[in-house]
Amino acid sequence: MSFIRYKTFGKKEYAYEIKTYWDKKKQKPYQKTKYLGIVIDKKKKLFERKIRKRPESLILDFGDTYVLDKFIDDSKIRSLISKVFSDQEETLLALLTYRIGHGSAMRYAQSWMSGNYARIVYKNASLSSQRISDFLGYIGDERLQREFFSNYIRSFCKKKQGIIIDGTSLPNQIHMPLSAWGLSGEEIDKQIRFLLVVDKESSIPIFFRALPGNILDVSTISNTLDELKRYGVSESFVYLDAGFFSEENINELYMQKVQFLTRLPSLRILYKQLIAEEIHDIESVAHAVRYGKRGLFIKQKTVDLFGHKAYAHIVLDPERKGRETKKFLLDIIDEKGQHDEQELSYALKTRGIMILVSSFQIDKKDVVPTYYVRQTAEMLFGFSKDDLNILPLRVHNESTLRGFLFLQFIALATFVLLKKKLGQNHTVEEAMLTLRNLKCKIYDNELVPQEMTKQQKQIADIFNILMPKTLGI
């Protein structure tokens, strides 16, 4: 129940709204009073409430950090960070927000923070260059990272539907044992190998390893699986790139009873045998398979793989064959007399061909979609390099390097969760840039966000976030 009470002070009359309610605990009636303003017209109940002007002191970027902070809280990432890095929680969250929302070099983080709402929500964070270096050394500690992954994997990897293991090169000129000369594409660079493990079902990265640049991918699979087991990840399916194909790795997978699917390298004897024996009749309606809007030819055969029963899947893409054949002919047609005819004939047969091998049977129509699950890892490497600017590496010792890669891993996991939430209509970069344009004004003890645009409202709605009219400081 409510009513209006009027009071006269001097020559002016003031109105107050009185609400009565019953306190169940104290078993008594109580009243709440709300000031309505100076009475203008009592019959029409018109009142004027003058708002005292306050001195404005600052305008900051607001929307991106506010939404990201709420999202990190809702996604359980904050609780993990708080549990493991309680002493440095705000610094980690501030840098995580900076990497996702801005992504520039670490030396600009303090400048970013001085003009962003992050300076208020993470007021205990210190982002000077020296403090960031010390902080990266702190989170590079192996004990802390193990504790984080133990909790993180339990929280984000409940379903065991298979994992994807892939690696990428991080070229650099850092002088440390972890940075070594290795092959990157067709060039030899001083580099670090960044190995990423991705959950197949959710596409969320679940683990990473930093390895010397001269260690080949084929020698890492066993140790990676052993480490994952220590975190409770005992997967029965692994999706691998051709770089992991070796007799040692294949035998290890069979011994551990881990099923796998991988691409067969073209230099392997088995590859050449299958080209010679199976390719002549592959372009048959009996082997035709639909893959989206494309038509493929897939022929399957049981093979011996280092003494183990395996399954070969010879895939011919007619469109790719046409492009590769045209290019191949244009490259050699004027010089065919300078090449061995048998070699040219064999090379021509391999145009448009990809051979996959698996330890388990796969339905013909599922072969290519299953293999291309592995592209998730390549997509995440793309996010790391293009969206999160992992390169160039600007650290100077192994401890800070491991800390930086760990920060990058958390940023990548958060980025993937953000991308999933946003769906197909918005990129993470677009959403963050749009929200960054939502400013706030800072007063002595209050923050006032400005009016939102239509696009900003749409993005906030996706995250189920209602922008406040004011916030206390």
The residue written with tokens 């069979």 in the block is 254
Tell me what pLDDT residue 314 has.
Answer: 96
Tell me what pLDDT residue 386 has.
Answer: 76
Amino acid identity, residue 218? V
Q: Is the pLDDT of residue 11 over 80?
A: no
**Rounded distance between C-alpha atoms, residue 450 and residue 472, angstroms:** 15
| Residue 53 included in any domain | no
Average pLDDT over residues 26-38: 78
**Rounded distance between C-alpha atoms, residue 356 and residue 408, angstroms:** 32
> Which tokens hold the place of 443?
């007063």
pLDDT tens for each residue of 279-309: 999 999 999 999 888 899 999 999 999 999 9
Of 192, 227, 220, 223, which Cα lies nearest the Cα of 206? 227
**Is residue 98 domain-shared with residue 241, that is, in the same domain?**
no
**Is residue 93 domain-shared with residue 162, that is, in the same domain?**
no
136 torsion bin: left (phi>0), alpha (psi -120 to 50), beta (else): alpha
**Is residue 175 domain-shared with residue 222, that is, in the same domain?**
yes
- Residue 392: pLDDT band (50, 70, 90) is low
Average pLDDT over residues 398-424: 91
| Residue 464 included in any domain | no
pLDDT tens for each residue of 244-261: 888 998 998 898 888 899
Q: Is residue 355 within 8 Å of residue 264, measured between CB atoms?
A: yes
Handedness of CA 343, 250, 384, 417 (dihedral sign): positive
**Is residue 356 domain-shared with residue 443, that is, in the same domain?**
no
pTM beyond cutoff 0.85: no
| Residue 469 included in any domain | no
Q: Is the pLDDT of residue 60 over 80?
A: yes
Average pLDDT over residues 41-61: 74
**Is residue 197 domain-shared with residue 250, that is, in the same domain?**
yes
CATH number (domain holding residue 198): 3.90.350.10
Q: How many domains does the chain have?
A: 3
| Residue 303 included in any domain | yes
Tell me what pLDDT residue 369 has.
Answer: 86
- Residue 28: pLDDT band (50, 70, 90) is confident
Q: Is the pLDDT of residue 381 over 80?
A: no
| Residue 272 included in any domain | yes
**Is residue 112 domain-shared with residue 172, that is, in the same domain?**
no
**Is residue 293 domain-shared with residue 346, that is, in the same domain?**
yes
Q: Which residues contact 229 (CB under 8 A, 6 or more apart)?
A: none
Tell me what pLDDT residue 39 has.
Answer: 85
Backbone dihedral angles phi then psi of residue 95, each to the nearest 5 degrees: -70, -35
**Rounded distance between C-alpha atoms, residue 193 and residue 363, angstroms:** 34
Tell me what pLDDT residue 406 has.
Answer: 94
**Rounded distance between C-alpha atoms, residue 56 and residue 442, angstroms:** 6
**Is residue 183 domain-shared with residue 319, that is, in the same domain?**
yes
89-101 and 428-436 helices cross at what angle (nearest 10)? 110
| Residue 359 included in any domain | yes
**Is residue 22 domain-shared with residue 109, that is, in the same domain?**
no
Q: Is residue 228 within 8 Å of residue 205, measured between CB atoms?
A: no
**Is residue 80 domain-shared with residue 122, that is, in the same domain?**
yes
Average pLDDT over residues 259-283: 94
CB atoms within 10 A of CB 299: 20
**Rounded distance between C-alpha atoms, residue 473 and residue 470, angstroms:** 10
**Long-range interactions of 334-339: CB distance < 8 A, separation 24+:** none
| Residue 465 included in any domain | no
Q: Containing domain of residue 28, as a range?
A: 2-48
**Is residue 244 domain-shared with residue 188, that is, in the same domain?**
yes
- CA geometry: angle at 330 spanning 324 and 335, to 5°? 125
| Residue 435 included in any domain | yes
Tell me what pLDDT residue 165 has.
Answer: 86
**Is residue 119 domain-shared with residue 264, that is, in the same domain?**
no
